[in-house]
Every structure is written in C-alpha cells, then in structure tokens.
Amino acid sequence: MLNFIRQHRLAIISIALFFISLNIYSANIKSRNDLNGFQRLIVDITMPVQNLTGNITSSFYNTIDSYIFLVNAKNKNIKLKKDVNKLNARIEELKELEIANDRLRGLLDFKKTLKNKVVSAEVVSRGPSNWLNTIIIDKGENDGIFPGLAVITENGIVGHTIYTSNNYSQILLMVDKNSSVDIIDQRSRAQGIVKGSKDNLCKVDYVLSKEDVKVDDIIISSGLDGIYPKGLLVGQIQDVTKNRYDLFQKVTLKPFVDFDKLEEVLIIIREKELLEEIQQITENKEL
C-alpha cells in the first residue's frame, strides 16, 4: 500500500489538489463569497510587501533621475548642479503637492455634497490579471467596507467592492466586462445598463430603439441596481447606432473617470443589512 502511494505520489497529490481547487472554485463560481480568514490574511500580508516594493522602486527611480547625471560632472559644478537639482526637485514636489491638493479639495467638496457617509481611500495596487480590471485600495472591513459598495470619485462612478480584507478592498472597475450599472439618460430619461467594453469605454445595453438618446448626452446612475445610489455621474454618450429592425440601439459611452490615473477614491458606506435586503429582492426578481 505504502509502495503504491509512493509510486503514484504525483497522481494522488494532483487529483487531491485538483478536487480541492475545483471545490473552492465551484463554491465561488456563482456568487462572490466574502474572503475567509485565511484569504484575508494572505491579502493583509502580501499588500504591505507590494507597497514597500513600490516605495523602494519609486525612491530608486527618483534617486537615479535626480543624481545619476551629476556623477561625472566637474567638481566646481557639483554644488551648483546639486542646488539646481534640489530646487527643481522641490519645485516638482510643490507642483505635485499643489496637484494633490487640488485633487483632494475637489474630492472633499464633492464629499460634502453627498448624502451618504463616505470613506476616502488610496489606490495601492492593481489586479495582475489580464482578464479582470480591478484595483486594490487601502481601506477594508476595519473602516466599515464590505463587498457590494459603490466606489466613486468627484468625476463619477469607478466601480464596486468585490472582496474585502481587514485593511484592503478589491474594486471591480466599471470598465470591466463583468461589471454593470443601471443608468438613465439625464436629458431623455431613457433607461439602460452600462457594461464594460474595450479601451476603457463602455456600451449601454437594452436601450430601446424608440428611446431618444443622442451623442453627448450625460448618463447618470438610476439607483435600481441596488449598488449605486441614484444620480451619480457615469459618462457621456460617444456614439449611437440605430437599426430600424433592431429592438435595441447600439450605444457607446465614454466614462468621466480616467481609469488609468486613479489615485484616490471614495466608498459610499451603506448599511450591510439594507444592502443585503436590496440584493435579495433583486435576485428574487431575476429568478
């Protein structure tokens, strides 16, 4: 028996691991369950490593940028160049501070206009998968965040939380093909569902051909999906194609948010029980 196990070690371990992973996968395939304690621990351990490496890399690049060209300079120019460099670095730093200040002021002004309680967070990483558009932020369950909360900036909707650990949360971006937002046209009140598409653009599905939708129309959230409150900015219509025989129009939307330059975001906090109740009602309706 022992010999048999030894001889077929690879096969036995492979089959065991395959069934373990299949079991975990099938438990998560239909609905995204909350991360368990072990999975949260992995996120809480790996993200600080990622942060630290990012900071070291940034410092390394900054050092190279600032000083590498001074190495071979003549002695009499070293001090002057260093001073110029320092001043330039200081100017850049101040510029960066000014930009960050403007950005944060905008975010703060926007935060004041919101009725719901919001938590601000910083983007610390992006998901490594080629198939999912996700970001990771530095706020988690300790700050009252749980899966299914809307994430926004002053420009509009960013996405929603899918996984949370104690100190970090993962956001599925609105431009991901697996994401959807229930919307209305601000001008004509036409309804539809925004889904992610290619090149940071979105498509609007289920807009009836009879509806009046025009290029440059502003699109806002309808609040019907149970995740995004009503009235949040989503984007602007970029292209509309109508075919007289089709039931629905083909509508392309350009989101207001620049998803490649996300640095700070706001998470709209809602009562977990209320959100679960809304999601339950939505699921029942779908059934």
Partner 1 sequence: MKHKLTLIFFAIATMTVSMMLAYYFPAIKAKPDLFLIFVVFIAITSDKTSDIFIAFSLGYIFDILSGCPVGLYAMLRTITFVALRLFNMNLFSKNALFFTITTFMISVPDSIYLGYRFNYASGFFSILGHALYLSFINAGTALLLYPLLEKLEHKFLISREEIKGNY
**List of residues contacting partner 1 (CB under 8 A):** 9-10, 13-14, 17-18, 20-29, 32-33, 35, 39, 42-43, 46, 49-50, 53-54, 57, 125-132, 134, 136, 162-163, 170, 172, 177-178, 259-261
How many angstroms separate the CA atoms of 278 and 226, rounded?
6
Q: Nearest distance from residue 190's CB to partner 1, in Å? A: 22
Q: Which of residues 57 and 243 has its CB atom nearest to partner 1 in the complex?
A: 57
Q: Nearest distance from residue 188's CB to partner 1, in Å? A: 26
Q: Which of residues 14 and 243 has its CB atom nearest to partner 1 in the complex?
A: 14
Q: What is the 3-state secondary structure (H, E, C) of 132-163?
A: CCEEEECCCHHHCCCCCCEEEECCEEEEEEEE
Among candidate residues 285, 287, 194, 197, the one with its CA nearest the CA of residue 234: 194
Q: Which of residues 58 and 142 has its CB atom nearest to partner 1 in the complex?
A: 58
Q: Are 228 and 160 in contact (CB under 8 A)?
A: yes
Q: Which of residues 24 and 80 has its CB atom nearest to partner 1 in the complex?
A: 24
Q: Which of residues 7 and 116 has its CB atom nearest to partner 1 in the complex?
A: 7
Q: Nearest distance from residue 185's CB to partner 1, in Å? A: 23
Buried b (16+ CB within 10 A) or exposed e, 33-71: eebeeeebeebeeebeeeeeeeeeeeeeeeeeeeeeeee
How many angstroms separate the CA atoms of 66 and 55, rounded?
16
Q: Which of residues 186 and 206 has its CB atom nearest to partner 1 in the complex?
A: 206
For residue 106 the two structure tokens come to 């905008």
Q: Nearest distance from residue 16's CB to partner 1, in Å? A: 10
Q: Nearest distance from residue 10's CB to partner 1, in Å? A: 5
How far from 57 is each of 37, 50, 154, CA to CA, in Å? 31, 10, 30
